[in-house]
C-alpha cells in the first residue's frame, strides 16, 4: 500500500467510525437495559471490533506494519535483546524500560505484529477500568455516552489497533490510578501512574501535578509516585545511563499539528525556542493554578476525581496545542475522559457531530504531512502556500481545524474542571459503585 492509498484508507475508516460514533452517541437505546448488560455488550463489542480489525488488516489483507513500530519500537528492542543499555547502546526517546518490554514481547513472537497485539490487548482493559472509576463521580448517562464514543473512536482504531501506539497503556494506567485514589489507596495510585513513566514514556509526568494539587492524601500519593521513579530510574543512574538523554534528543524538535507550526507556516517566521517554551509553560501554569484553587477548597471525593480527570485532559490538550512537538496520537492518553464531556451541556447533537469530525481530522491531517509532504517544516509549507499548491492549502485547513478542535476541547475541559458540580450533581446516588459506596465521604489532607 502506497502512502496515498494509506491516506485514503485512513480517511474512509475514520469517516465510517465517526458516523457510527455520532449515531450511537446521540441514540437513546444505549441508556436502556441494566448496567451489567450494557457493560457486557460494550466490552464484547470493543474486543470483537479491535481483534477483528487487527486480524483483517494484518492476516487477511496482509498489510505491512507501518509507522513507529518497525523503527522506533522493534529496532531498540532488538538492541536490548543483545544486552545494550538505553541511551548508550541505542537511541530512543522513550522511557528506559520501553525497549525491554518490547524485547520481552519479541521473545514470545519474533514479529512486529506482537507489539501491535500487545497494544490491542492492553486497550481491551481500558473500558472496564474507566467505566468503574467514572461511575464513582458521574451519572450513568454520561458514562455510557463516553463508552460508546470510545468504542467507535476513529483515533482509537487508527492509532492503537492499526498503528500499534502504546499510549492506550498509559490511559489504562491513568484510569487505574484514579480508581485507586477513589478507593483511598493513595500510595498505590501514585505508584501506578509513575510506572508508566518508567516503562512506556515520560508523558505521565505531565499529569502528576494534577494529582498532587487536588488529591486528599497528597503526601502519600507523592510517596508512591516518587518511590517508583527513584527505583526505576535509580537503577539506570547506577549503571551510568544518561537518563536525561531523551529530553536532549527531543529538544528543538518540531512537528506539525500544533499551534506554533501553523503560525510559522502562515507568517513564515520561526521564533526562538525559548519564546515557544515560555508560551507552553504559561499555559500549563494557568491550568495548574486553577487546579490548585480547586484543591485549596478541600473538595469531596467526587469533586476531587472530577477535577483531576478533566485537569489531566486540559494538560494533555495544552501539550497538543502549544508544544512545538506534539503528535495527534497523544490524545489517546485522555480519550475516554474526553468523551465524558458530552454527557452534559446543551447542543449535544451538534457537539457530538463536531467531535466525530474532529476524529476524522486527527487521523488524516498528520498522514497528509507524512505521506504528501514528507514531514517538511513550516517554512517549506509557507512556500507551497505562496505557490498556491492545492494540497498545501488542504493541509493548512486541516491543521487549523485540528488546532481549533484542541482549543474547543481545552475550554470545555477547563470549564468542567472548575465547575465540577454542574456535572456531578447530575449523578444519581445509585451510580456510585457498590465497592466504594460505603467508604467515608471525604478525607482530610495531610
pLDDT score for 251: 77
Q: Report the distance separating Cα 169 and Cα 177, nearest Å.
A: 12
pLDDT score for 427: 57
The alpha carbon dihedral of 400, 405, 410, 412 has a sign of positive
pLDDT at 445 over 70: no
407-426 pLDDT per residue, tens: 999 999 999 998 866 667 55
Bridge partner residues of 86 (DSSP): 90
Q: Position of cell 484543591?
A: 295
Q: Residues 60-79: what's their mean pLDDT?
A: 92
Residue 437 lies in a domain: no
| Local confidence band at 429 (pLDDT 50, 70, 90 cut-offs) | very low
Residue 359 lies in a domain: yes
Residue 442 lies in a domain: no
What is the C-alpha radius of gyration for the chain, rounded to an integer number of angstroms? Answer: 21
Q: Which has more confidence, 273 or 152?
A: 152
pLDDT score for 351: 95
Residue 51 lies in a domain: yes
20-24, 33-37, 167-171, 436-440, range with the lowest pLDDT: 436-440
pLDDT at 81 over 90: yes
Which grid cell sits at 403? Answer: 488546532
pLDDT at 442 over 50: no
Can you give the three-state secondary structure of the chain, one letter per residue? CCHHHHHHHHHHHHHHHHHHHHHHHCCCHHHCCCHHHHHHHHHHHHHHHHHHHHHHHHHHCCCCCCCHHHHHHHHHHHHHHCCCCECCCECCCCCCCHHHHHHHHHHHCCCCHHHHHHHHHHHCCHHHHHHHHHCCCCCHHHHHHHHHHHHCCHHHHHHHHHCCCCHHHHHHHHHHHHHHHHCCCHHHHHHHHHHHHHHCCCHHHHCHHHHHHHCCCHHHHHHHHHHHHHHHHHHHHHCCCCCCHHHHHHCCCCCCCCHHHHHHHHHCCCCCHHHHHHHHHHHHHHHHHHHHHHHHCCCCHHHHHHHHHHHHHHHHHHHHHHCCCCCHHHHHHHHHHHHHHHHCCCCHHHHHHHHHHHHHHHHHHHHHHHHCCCCCCHHHHHHHHHCCCHHHHHHHHHHHHHHHHHHHHHHHHHHHHHCCHHHHCCCCHHHCCHHHHCCCCCCCCC
Tell me the pLDDT of the chain averaged across its residues.
90
Q: What pTM does this model have? A: 0.92
- Tell me the percentage of the chain whose pLDDT exceeds 70: 93
Give the residue numbers spanning the domain of 367: 3-428
Q: Residues 319-332: what's their mean pLDDT?
A: 93
334-369 pLDDT per residue, tens: 999 999 999 877 888 999 999 999 999 999 998 888
Q: Residues 106-115: what's their mean pLDDT?
A: 96
Q: Residues 185-206: what's their mean pLDDT?
A: 96
Using CA atoms, how far residue 97 sits from 145, 152, 297, 306, in Å, is 35, 31, 39, 31
Domains in the chain, number: 1
pLDDT score for 285: 97
pLDDT score for 247: 85
Using CA atoms, how far residue 5 sits from 12, 58, 367, in Å, is 10, 16, 11
The alpha carbon dihedral of 143, 144, 149, 150 has a sign of positive
pLDDT score for 114: 97
pLDDT at 440 over 60: no
Q: What is the dihedral of CA 99, 224, 229, 130, to 10 degrees?
A: 40
Q: Residues 73-93: what's their mean pLDDT?
A: 94
pLDDT at 430 over 70: no
CA atoms within 13 A on the CB side of 235: 10
Q: Are 338 and 313 in contact (CB under 8 A)?
A: yes
Q: Are 99 and 90 in contact (CB under 8 A)?
A: yes
Residue 35 lies in a domain: yes
pLDDT at 188 over 60: yes
Residue 147 lies in a domain: yes
Residue 435 lies in a domain: no
17-26, 186-195, 363-372, range with the lowest pLDDT: 363-372
Residue 38 lies in a domain: yes
pLDDT score for 76: 95
pLDDT score for 446: 32
| Local confidence band at 7 (pLDDT 50, 70, 90 cut-offs) | confident
pLDDT at 431 over 50: no
Amino acid at each position: 500500500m502506497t502512502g496515498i492509498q494509506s491516506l485514503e484508507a485512513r480517511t474512509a475508516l475514520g469517516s465510517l467510525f465517526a458516523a457510527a460514533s455520532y449515531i450511537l452517541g446521540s441514540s437513546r437505546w444505549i441508556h436502556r437495559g441494566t448496567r451489567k448488560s450494557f457493560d457486557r455488550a460494550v466490552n464484547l463489542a470493543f474486543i470483537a471490533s479491535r481483534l477483528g480489525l487487527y486480524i483483517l488488516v494484518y492476516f487477511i489483507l496482509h498489510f505491512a506494519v507501518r509507522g513507529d513500530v518497525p523503527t522506533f519500537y522493534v529496532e531498540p528492542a532488538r538492541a536490548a535483546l543483545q544486552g545494550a543499555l538505553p541511551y548508550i547502546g541505542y537511541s530512543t526517546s522513550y522511557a528506559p524500560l520501553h525497549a525491554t518490554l518490547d524485547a520481552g514481547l519479541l521473545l514470545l513472537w519474533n514479529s512486529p505484529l506482537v507489539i501491535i497485539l500487545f497494544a490491542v490487548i492492553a486497550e481491551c482493559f481500558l473500558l472496564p477500568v474507566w467505566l468503574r472509576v467514572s461511575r464513582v463521580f458521574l451519572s450513568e448517562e454520561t458514562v455510557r455516552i463516553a463508552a460508546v464514543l470510545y468504542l467507535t473512536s476513529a483515533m482509537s482504531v487508527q492509532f492503537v489497533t492499526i498503528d500499534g501506539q502504546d499510549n492506550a497503556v498509559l490511559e489504562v494506567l491513568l484510569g487505574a490510578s484514579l480508581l485507586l485514589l477513589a478507593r483511598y489507596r493513595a500510595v498505590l495510585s501514585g505508584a501506578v501512574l509513575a510506572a508508566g513513566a518508567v516503562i512506556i514514556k515520560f508523558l505521565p509526568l505531565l499529569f502528576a501535578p494534577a494529582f498532587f494539587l487536588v488529591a486528599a492524601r497528597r503526601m502519600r500519593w507523592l510517596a508512591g509516585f516518587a518511590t517508583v521513579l527513584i527505583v526505576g530510574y535509580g537503577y539506570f543512574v547506577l549503571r551510568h545511563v544518561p537518563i536525561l538523554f531523551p529530553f536532549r534528543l527531543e529538544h528543538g524538535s518540531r512537528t506539525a499539528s500544533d499551534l506554533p507550526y501553523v503560525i510559522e507556516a502562515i507568517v513564515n517566521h520561526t521564533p526562538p525556542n525559548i519564546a515557544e517554551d515560555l508560551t507552553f509553560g504559561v499555559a500549563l501554569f494557568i491550568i495548574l493554578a486553577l487546579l490548585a484553587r480547586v484543591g485549596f477548597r478541600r473538595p469531596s471525593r467526587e469533586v476531587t476525581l472530577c477535577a483531576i480527570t478533566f485537569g489531566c485532559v486540559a494538560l494533555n490538550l495544552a501539550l497538543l496545542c502549544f508544544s512545538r512537538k506534539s503528535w495527534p496520537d497523544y490524545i489517546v492518553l485522555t480519550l475516554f475522559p474526553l468523551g465524558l464531556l458530552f454527557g452534559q451541556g446543551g447542543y449535544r447533537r451538534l457537539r457530538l457531530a463536531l467531535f466525530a469530525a474532529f476524529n476524522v481530522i486527527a487521523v488524516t491531517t498528520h498522514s497528509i504531512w507524512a505521506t504528501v509532504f514528507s514531514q517538511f517544516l513550516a517554512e517549506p509549507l509557507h512556500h507551497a502556500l505562496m505557490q498556491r499548491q492545492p494540497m498545501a492549502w488542504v493541509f493548512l485547513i486541516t491543521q487549523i481545524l485540528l488546532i481549533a478542535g484542541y482549543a474547543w476541547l481545552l475550554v470545555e475541559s477547563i470549564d468542567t474542571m472548575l465547575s465540577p458540580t454542574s456535572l456531578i450533581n447530575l449523578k444519581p446516588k445509585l451510580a456510585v459503585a457498590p465497592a466504594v459506596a460505603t467508604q467515608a465521604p471525604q478525607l482530610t489532607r495531610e
